[in-house]
């Protein structure tokens, strides 16, 4: 791809907002920002009325069956990298191959199989409605750690299979009215130490206030959900800060869990700017919130992919909206995650109107411009 300059554009660097600047795009990467860009570049694109941001990264998805649609739809919405949390080796291998060889697809990172025990989340949910031979064979491959010696075997196999980070399951099932087995605190600590020993980060799934402090004691790096069963306590916030632990809150998932997010979810699903980018089946799923506690809720809905109330790609725009409009983040705080310098050109100013993120004009990934 030839180099070119986007002239007079608003640029968000991931930290700062620069007004009326020039950006040199070279092989699909933001190489230089400033008004004295190299004069040897022939092509100039007007950036007036546009905002250039680093790429969007979706830090929590489930790519069921290694479907190519997951990566295609994600990139259509400006998401250049997705982080898949728990999946079987054949699915991970397929998605990584597509991401490596494909053009109009997002990059793919994965935790491969999550660290768990027998009859822990999500096995009881998956098998309650699908006992097919194929599904039971997949569940049989999931990690079931019983003692310390199992951890290193799990780590070696997971890393061999391409794990980019490690995820633990710490789901008691209480938010679903269930009771699932959990990794012991001792094994959690062993998993985290082994993960760090391999130079990777450790994250975990927990969906209730009661479960969260326990998993924080393991010394892990981050949580892949917040919780919605009760407001956070001062003690929990202090524990997060003391451990320097991050949280991928998945606010829209909790909006689906409680049903409170249904109106906003529907507005994103039916936004005219999503037409042609989202498949019909995924749009329909997005409009079906989980509504835990409602008489119409089915427990098995908790592990569909994508989860009801979400959809690949567009959900990152929904989540950013919730960060700003509901959680009180500034737009700069909400957008600061993208750091790979793959540019996304947006018409308007998402730093003032978060919904402008759907005004996608140009998206690049690894030097390739999405067609």
Burial class (CB within 10 angstroms; exposed 0-12, middle 13-18, buried 19+) of 347: middle
How much is the pTM?
0.90
Q: How far apart are CA 119 and CA 173, in angstroms?
A: 11
pLDDT in the model for residue 2: 66
The sheet carrying 202-205 orders its strands as: 166-169, 202-205, 222-223, 246-247
For the chain, the residue count is 371
> Hey, is 74 helix, strand or coil?
helix
**Can you tell me the distance from the alpha carbon of 369 to that of 285, in angstroms, rounded to the nearest whole number?**
29
Residue 111: per-residue pLDDT: 96
Query: CB pairs under 8 A, 24+ apart, for 351-357?
Result: 351/10, 351/12, 351/17, 351/51, 354/320, 354/321, 354/323, 354/324, 354/325, 355/317, 355/321, 356/51, 357/56, 357/78, 357/317, 357/320
CA 181 vs. chain centroid, Å, equals: 25
pLDDT at 297: 38
Residue 151 near residue 194, CB atoms below 8 Å: yes
> Considering only CA atoms, which of 180, 181, 145 is closest in space to residue 166?
145
Q: Which of 315, 317, 323, 321 is nearest to 344 (CA)?
A: 317
Number of H helices, E strands in the chain: 13, 15
Give the Cα separation of 216 and 204 in Å (integer): 9
How would you write the pLDDT of the chain (371 residues) with one tens digit per residue? 568 889 999 999 888 899 999 988 887 778 888 877 666 666 888 999 999 998 899 999 998 888 999 999 999 999 999 999 998 889 999 999 999 999 899 999 999 999 999 888 888 777 776 788 888 888 888 899 999 999 999 999 999 999 999 999 999 988 878 889 999 999 999 999 999 999 999 999 999 999 999 999 999 999 999 998 899 999 999 999 999 999 999 999 989 888 889 999 999 999 999 999 998 888 998 988 876 654 443 433 344 457 888 999 999 999 999 999 999 999 888 887 555 667 899 999 999 999 999 999 999 888 788 86
* Nearest Cα residue to 71 out of 110, 105, 109: 105
Domains, the chain, with CATH or none = 113-334 (3.40.50.10910)
Secondary structure letter of residue 348 according to DSSP: S
């Amino acid at each position: 791809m030839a180099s070119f300059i986007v002239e007079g554009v608003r640029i968000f660097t991931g930290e700062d907002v620069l007004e009326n600047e020039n950006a040199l795009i070279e092989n699909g990467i933001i190489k230089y920002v400033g008004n004295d860009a190299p004069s040897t570049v022939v092509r100039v694109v007007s950036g007036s009325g546009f905002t250039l941001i680093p790429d969007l990264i979706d830090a929590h998805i489930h790519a069921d069956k290694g479907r190519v649609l997951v990566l295609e739809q994600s990139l259509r919405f400006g998401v250049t990298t997705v982080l898949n949390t728990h999946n079987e080796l054949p699915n991970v291998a397929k998605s990584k191959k597509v991401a490596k060889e494909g053009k109009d697809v997002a990059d793919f990172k994965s935790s491969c199989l999550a660290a768990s025990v027998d009859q822990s989340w999500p096995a009881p949910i998956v098998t309650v409605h699908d006992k097919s031979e194929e599904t039971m064979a997949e569940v049989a491959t999931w990690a079931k750690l019983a003692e310390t010696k199992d951890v290193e075997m799990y780590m070696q196999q997971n890393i061999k299979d391409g794990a980019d980070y490690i995820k633990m399951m710490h789901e008691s099932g209480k938010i679903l009215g269930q009771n699932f087995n959990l990794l012991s605190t001792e094994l959690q600590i062993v998993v985290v130490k082994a993960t760090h020993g391999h130079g990777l980060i450790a994250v975990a799934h927990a969906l209730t206030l009661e479960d969260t402090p326990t998993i924080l004691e393991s010394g892990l790096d981050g949580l892949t959900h917040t919780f919605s069963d009760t407001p956070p306590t001062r003690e929990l916030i202090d524990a997060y800060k003391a451990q320097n632990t991050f949280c991928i809150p998945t606010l829209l998932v909790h909006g689906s869990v409680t049903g409170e997010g249904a109106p906003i979810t529907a507005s994103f699903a039916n936004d005219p700017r999503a037409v042609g980018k989202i498949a019909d089946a995924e749009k329909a799923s997005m409009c079906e919130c989980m509504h835990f506690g409602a008489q119409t809720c089915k427990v098995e809905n908790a592990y569909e992919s994508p989860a009801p109330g979400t959809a690949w790609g567009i959900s990152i725009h929904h989540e950013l909206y919730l960060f700003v409009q509901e959680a009180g983040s500034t737009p700069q705080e909400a957008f600061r995650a993208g750091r790979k310098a793959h540019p996304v050109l947006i018409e308007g100013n998402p730093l003032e109107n978060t919904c402008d993120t759907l005004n996608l004009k140009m998206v690049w990934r690894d030097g390739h411009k999405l067609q």
